Amino acid sequence: MYTLGEFIIENREKFFYSTEALLRLFSSIKLAAKAINKEVNKAGLTEEIIGSSGFTNIQGETQQKLDQFAHKAFIESFKSRNVVCGIASEESKDFIIIEKEKENLFQNKYIVLIDPLDGSSNIDVNIPIGTIFSVYIRRNTSIQMDLTIEDFLQKGNKQILAGYIIYGSSTILVFTTGNGVHGFTLDPSLGTFYLSHPNLHFPKGEKIYSINEGNYAIFPDGIKNFIKYCQEKKENRPYTARYIGSLVGDFHRNMIQGGIYIYPKTVYFPCGKLRLLYECNPMAFLTEQAGGKASDGKKRILDIQPMNLHQRTPFICGPMKMVSKLEEFIRNYD
Ligand code: AHM
Ligand code: MG
């Protein structure tokens, strides 16, 4: 069985950039993931983990204690590995600069955007939650200069690494570097990630639609009509409805079983709810690498020019055929 480190070394010629950098990036990600995994597994046993921290984040949402723990775990872990120069996180209003020694100027050239703990409202009720990450090589500005916001506002099609960690019935790290999507399951007794899901791909034959149908009344007409279409008794429909309200969990299931994930604009969220840079872009990169399509309903997610760090977008991802069908409904009704 391949460990993650062995897999990277074995496939080194398929990466477009330094194997050493990739190993360092993964070393940070694995370290933080293991620390979070340990805490998540203790939820319920100690008051220090579950529940609200009493603070709100930049989006005005209540931060859970584990949100803050996960945010700190990733920042500390990236700081210690001399590979990243800046991080933007869902839990922090501004981007964070990682100070570096002069001699590391050329090494610390990666930009990370991260949702340290997505779906955190599910922590207290034992439903899978996840970390989502997105990495860009170099910066938009000169390496000698201080980082600016421009370094973070890169289009999703420039990502060199993206993935998620799902803390579920087991803990799995799923990523792409542009050469397919691969999943590694944590063996908690050894603390090692082993290749368990090579070449993940949306299967042929779509089955599932995932959307918060409780919002039906505040969806645009195109979405309402697509839901009706999913429920029709025709061809291979009706599809099964599955929605746990945890993007990583819903996405992971849909990629393995064949389903579409939809978070459209609503009356309450006119620009959509999910964040482009650290939720939608990484999931879109994974989707395309798994043979699917990711769209805001009209255009490709990966081609959107970000305007600010916490920008939201409507988000649709899944098997090519399903996403194209939904785009057709949006064109015809909205
Ligand atoms: P979060 O980043 O505050 O956790 O919110 C993102 C989550 C996604 O994981 C999930 O798909 C979505 O919000 C669920 O939203 P809703 O409860 O409105 O359906
Ligand atoms: Mg989130």
Could you report the per-residue pLDDT of 254-278, keeping only the tens digit for each? 999 999 999 999 999 999 999 999 9
Q: Which residues share a beta bridge with 131? A: 165
Of the bound ligands, which one is closest to the alpha carbon of residue 115? 2
Q: What pLDDT, on the 0 to 100 scale, is given for residue 118? A: 95
CATH code of the domain made up of 208-333: 3.40.190.80
| Closest Cα to atom 14 of ligand 1 | 245
pLDDT surpassing 90 at residue 5: yes
Which residues are found with C-beta within 5 Å of the ion, ligand 2?
Answer: 115, 118
Residue 235 CA, ligand 2 centroid: distance in Å: 35
Cβ–Cβ < 8 Å for 260, 292: no
pLDDT surpassing 70 at residue 103: no
- Mean pLDDT of all residues in the chain? 92
Mean pLDDT of the 195-210 span: 96
Residue 323 CA, ligand 2 centroid: distance in Å: 22
DSSP state of 278: I
Between 108 and 331, where is the model more confident?
Answer: 331
Residue 10 CA, ligand 1 centroid: distance in Å: 37
CA–CA distance, 128 with 36 (Å, rounded to integer) = 13
pLDDT surpassing 70 at residue 233: yes
Which residue, 81, 254, 95, 242, is CA-closest to 164? 254
Residue 86 CA, ligand 1 centroid: distance in Å: 25
Of the bound ligands, which one is closest to the alpha carbon of residue 132? 2
CATH code of the domain made up of 4-197: 3.30.540.10
Residue 57 pLDDT class (50, 70, 90 cuts): low
CA–CA distance, 105 with 83 (Å, rounded to integer) = 9
| Closest Cα to atom 15 of ligand 1 | 245
pTM across the whole model: 0.94
pLDDT surpassing 70 at residue 6: yes
Q: How many degrees, rounded to 5, is the angle at CA 296 between CA 278 and CA 202?
A: 80
Which residue, 224, 227, 246, 313, is CA-closest to 277? 313
Of the bound ligands, which one is closest to the alpha carbon of residue 211? 1
Mutate to test the pocket of ligand 1, among 62, 115, 247 (most ligand atoms within 8 A of CB): 247
Q: What pLDDT, on the 0 to 100 scale, is given for residue 48? A: 65
Mean pLDDT of the 174-197 span: 97
Domains of the chain, residue spans: 4-197, 208-333
What residues are in contact with ligand 1 under a 6 Å CB criterion? 61, 90, 115, 118-120, 212, 245-247, 250, 273
pLDDT surpassing 60 at residue 151: yes
pLDDT above 70: percentage of residues in the chain: 92
Of the bound ligands, which one is closest to the alpha carbon of residue 121? 1
| Closest Cα to atom 2 of ligand 1 | 118
Q: What pLDDT, on the 0 to 100 scale, is given for residue 259? A: 98
